[in-house]
Homo-oligomer: A and B are copies of this chain.
Amino acid sequence: MADAQSNLPLNIMPLPARAERGDGSLNIDASFHLAFVGYREPRLERAGQRFLHQVRRQTGIVMFPASANTGAATLEVKTDHESKAIQDLGEDESYWLDVTPGGAKLHAASPLGVFRGLQTFLQLIAISPEGFSVPAAHIEDRPRFPWRGLMIDSGRHFIPVDVIKRNLDGMEAVKMNVFHWHLSDNQGFRTESRKFPKLHEQGSDGLYYTQDEIRDVVEYARDRGIRVVPEFDMPGHSTAWFAGYPELASGSGPYAVERKWGVFDPAMDPTDEKTYKFLNEFIGEMARLFPDQFFHIGGDEVSGKEWDANPKIQAFKKSHKLKDNAGLQAYFSGRLQELVAKHKKTPVGWDEVLVPGVPKTIVIQSWRGVDSLAAAAKDGYRGILSNGYYLDLGWSAARHYAMDPLGGPAAALTPEQKQLILGGESCIWSEYVSAENIDSRIWPRNAAIAERLWSPEGTSDLASMYQRMETESARLEWLGLTHLSYQRVMLQRIAGSWSPTEFDALRALAQALEHQKDYTREASAISPPTSLAPLNRLVDAVYPESDVSRRFALKADLFVGSSCQDRVLEAEIRMQLAEWVTIDERLQALAQRSLLVREAAPASAALSQAAKIAMSALDTIQKGVPLSADQKKLQLDSLGALEQQAHKSQLILPELPAFQKMVETASAGSVCAK
């Protein structure tokens, strides 16, 4: 007999390849018993302990590490065989999971599939009228792409090990399998080098990972079925190397760790054999430290100015018949790839490295556009997509979700060429990201990208995605991620006040705003921001995608899309608008006391003013006398000006499109005027 809830969708993210709901559900209580059968290894035991800990966190049910539970397993996990000693691209991650009211079975070829299946089981645990349970279901699951990564930039802002680890936990939860670690940039060299200690000593302000910490992170990732691909960006993005080793550079220096953001001129000297001798030893050391098969050499954004200014390099170009700096970079890139190959690694590079003649082994990471990915595949190169997955741009989850590694020009590739497209990687560049707010810049939107890379082609229901992403977002905090909880702490710093009325107004403001999108923050900065600037402002504390605003827009759409007669909906819209209208006034006193609140005052005033315009549009709709064209223009112009005003606080008002629709509806000829 089917139970009442059996038609509800399964709350899994990423969606599995195939899932069917069964009848009834499996109770989860203190008698829960997990048993491993088949192939065993300590990593599976640890996964089991971690799983039980997570069940405990999700349910509050007491489960002792030294469990006395015996007898039939509630969840029996069968593993056929081991996975490779060093996790490899394309290893089998499939599993099936069968849940009945009497028990559950998880079956996978190797531990990798077990890790994936355990996460699915955890997502299925839910509170019910009888307590905690898992709905009966049969799931057969495997990933669409073998490379599903997250890149974290530890170069521009150092990201501590505990923050890295909790993000690895998050990656495991959404079945991502590659952690791409951007470990050096102009603003910091973050890896201890024992061969070249001045790299971290003089290139990091004391903020670097020891080799022990790196080994620990690699082990931690392996325990979760995640590969760690290190990146050392060369020949540009390398000022921090030159603080300790200026002889590697093409200019005469002196060099110091860069404090500003942007593209800078310092670049390695590709004409000096000393450079390759150094890199050979350095890559050798790092190749031993990072067991993964792949080794990222960067290769992006070389300005070429230091090369142009160095007569020796100009002479080298001439003597080697390199007609431009692209040719010189290709020469460097080729030499570098030889070194990587010599140390038994496969290189990965940003799409600039794709130039004629580059060896076919290199994996191309497309960031400047989708074209390079398809172009690379046509030429026989393997590639991964990051264009469209830059989390620091502040895009909505929906916008990231719409990007598909096999979409755009790649859709026209042959099946064989499509095979070369390995997957994708979300990237969080850390100009405006600190240990404090990084989780919020990654999560929950990264779950949408993870779903794009795991779930079957064509998975595209946005409402379902958002609903499951919200659920997953709350669950992720159980793993220790702070993408929701960070905000109160930051807002308390900004307010410097513990008056609940003031604080509530500030929170309501923060939750209605988003930070500026793409790379527009610099343009509105009062002074050029640097790595020394505190990330303590409202722009640093707001969510990249405002749930409050998204929900408001859905309601506004529903309202103007209907006959505008829904009184409950109207009341909800009015209540939200009424709150926004009052915010600016409620923050006046606080803005007098706190510099950080005062900096947000333009945005606060803009929100309140814009909400008044929307409120007045609602009144007009209700009265049934449409706005004149002049009135409409005036209102829309005002909204536009308010948008600009918010930019003074480096913020945007994501509800403006909804407000505009309301004004348009209030004007003549709109769909729902009475």
Residues on A lying within 8 angstroms of B by beta carbon are: 30, 57-62, 64-66, 126-131, 204-207, 434, 436, 470-471, 473-474, 477-478, 484-485, 488-490, 492-496, 498, 500, 531-536, 540, 547, 551, 592-596, 598
Tell whether, in the assembled complex, residue B595 and residue A127 are in contact, meaning their CB atoms are under 8 Å apart. Answer: yes
Tell whether, in the assembled complex, residue A62 and residue B532 are in contact, meaning their CB atoms are under 8 Å apart. Answer: yes
| A547 proximity list for chain B (CB < 8 A) | 500
- In the assembly, what is the distance between CA of A532 and CA of B532, in Å? 50
| A131 proximity list for chain B (CB < 8 A) | 595
Tell whether, in the assembled complex, residue B471 and residue A64 are in contact, meaning their CB atoms are under 8 Å apart. Answer: no
Tell whether, in the assembled complex, residue A127 and residue B496 are in contact, meaning their CB atoms are under 8 Å apart. Answer: yes
Q: A131-B595, A594-B128 are in contact. Are A493 and B436 (CB under 8 A)?
A: no
Q: A498-B471, A536-B59 are in contact. Are A205 and B65 (CB under 8 A)?
A: yes
Given contacts A58-B493, A61-B536, A130-B595, 12 further A-B contacts (CB under 8 A): A60-B535, A64-B206, A66-B206, A126-B496, A127-B595, A127-B596, A128-B594, A129-B594, A129-B595, A129-B598, A471-B498, A477-B488
- In the assembly, what is the distance between CA of A493 and CA of B65, in Å? 22
User: Which residue from chain B places its CB closest to the CB of A66 in the assembled complex?
Assistant: B206
Contacting residue for A207 out of B60, B65, B592, CB 8 A: B65
Would you give the shortest CB distance from A213 to chain B, in whole angstroms? Answer: 14
- In the assembly, what is the distance between CA of A206 and CA of B63, in Å? 11
| A596 proximity list for chain B (CB < 8 A) | 127
- In the assembly, what is the distance between CA of A129 and CA of B496, in Å? 11
- In the assembly, what is the distance between CA of A484 and CA of B535, in Å? 23
Would you give the shortest CB distance from A55 to chain B, in whole angstroms? Answer: 11
| A61 proximity list for chain B (CB < 8 A) | 534, 536
| A130 proximity list for chain B (CB < 8 A) | 595
6 contacts across the A-B interface (CB closer than 8 A): A60-B535, A60-B540, A64-B205, A126-B496, A127-B596, A471-B498
| A536 proximity list for chain B (CB < 8 A) | 59-61
| A531 proximity list for chain B (CB < 8 A) | 62
| A205 proximity list for chain B (CB < 8 A) | 64-66
Q: A59-B536, A65-B205, A128-B593 are in contact. Are A474 and B494 (CB under 8 A)?
A: no
- In the assembly, what is the distance between CA of A495 and CA of B474, in Å? 11
| A592 proximity list for chain B (CB < 8 A) | 129
Tell whether, in the assembled complex, residue A494 and residue B66 are in contact, meaning their CB atoms are under 8 Å apart. Answer: no
Would you give the shortest CB distance from A378 to chain B, in whole angstroms? Answer: 44
- In the assembly, what is the distance between CA of A556 and CA of B488, in Å? 28
Ranked 7 nearest A-B pairs via Cβ:
A60-B536, A66-B206, A127-B496, A65-B206, A64-B205, A60-B534, A127-B594
- In the assembly, what is the distance between CA of A127 and CA of B434, in Å? 20
| A484 proximity list for chain B (CB < 8 A) | 488
Would you give the shortest CB distance from A473 to chain B, in whole angstroms? Answer: 8
| A551 proximity list for chain B (CB < 8 A) | 500
Tell whether, in the assembled complex, residue A534 and residue B62 are in contact, meaning their CB atoms are under 8 Å apart. Answer: yes
- In the assembly, what is the distance between CA of A127 and CA of B593, in Å? 8
Tell whether, in the assembled complex, residue B60 and residue A493 are in contact, meaning their CB atoms are under 8 Å apart. Answer: yes
Would you give the shortest CB distance from A609 to chain B, in whole angstroms? Answer: 24
Q: A128-B593, A493-B58, A536-B60 are in contact. Are A474 and B500 (CB under 8 A)?
A: no
| A485 proximity list for chain B (CB < 8 A) | 485, 488
User: Which residue from chain B places its CB closest to the CB of A60 in the assembled complex?
Assistant: B536
